Structure 1
């Protein structure tokens, strides 16, 4: 029996991180992708609204720049082997493309703002001598602090955000677990069980994601019946409030009355907290992130809890196949 219990514990520990990673993927899929393109000798600036941090999706040297958009300079470094696509174009070897990705990730990942220089000279070689290239960067602005609310069976949870912010669901659990059901105990004589609705997060997203305010009912009508008859189910929602500009276009809605007077500028118009906050390469120390939480508006619910700032969802790791 002890051996079986140990096996169950190991399996549970192995499954939980995968579940959290799935939640993160669901959240990232709802966030707007911001793109930046610059000449390969320029300083590139990335910035996210307060309450969010940068999540790099793509960083690469792209198409050859035109003579008018990026003035060519004389090559001062020994060329390396490249794939020639024609008389006037070439591509970076995968190793150097990876070096660029690594540079951008180290400079910007999980920071609210960053500046970096992407000159080929930083790597000691120029794979496209005599021509300029575009640096292409795609990133998302990801929330980093979440709060949770718990409602027992048939309770109603109210989620709401301040003006210019919208609800962003990270995860939802509906059912019950043997190890985490203290707030909603079973009826007398009812045996504990673990029974969770597998698509509770998707249901909560459908009802709330991208809205200023919403209502979630902890009942079988909204979430189904994952448990035995007589078991007391509960709903736990992990969410945050994000600036409207970080969500994809499909979540856009008309400004409400208290939002009309205030103009929300795109990211390009936001000011850096510190104009000297920049990172040039391995010789410099990446600046610490300057972030601030979005002030929550406490919902009107008798079964609410406010958690301390939770750790960021599973971090993205750099591999030669990209960001994970």
Structure 2
């Protein structure tokens, strides 16, 4: 049925890779929005294998990572039906390795309009539950302090600096506990996610998810709970 085809499409992880000087373009189906799973900008593999350098690659670094890629993608693309921007080092702030031709790897899902979002404050427990014969599909998970959306736990931060900070592997940790399960509980605390923020900053865990028929996730295949099917690009 068309609905099943659509659901299969929105349950898959997608990966886009874009070389310096190219345009990143992400388009999701109608009535869905982009949910960024992860992003890497820099270079971890040699030029001949990915995005060959237009000039002399003898000086290139393969130990090069931008710290701002994930936040940049969230600000440009998150919750949009499509997004497009030019990829070059100025877009990501200070150049982590001048003279090296870099690339952007973006991992994302297309999230249907009927997804649910649940937020808990630091040191509380997040509980997700589906009805029988359906299981959780996790679209995104962020732990830290975010300036987008209503910051439910932010009254406590009124004094602090106006900055974002995110735990790098929140999605992987939440997916491991919850994806494909009938219900799950995740503690929004330092033991689970570490502390990505300045000392004393109050954090929150925000997860978007939906409940889908059990057999549907089985058909989609063993979708890894690690958003980075990117490890090939990132670790050489």
The TM tier, using the shorter chain, reads 0.3 to 0.5
For the pair shown, the structure with the greater C-alpha radius of gyration is: 1
TM-score (norm 2): 0.45
Considering fraction of residues, name the structure with more strand: 2
TM-score (norm 1): 0.34
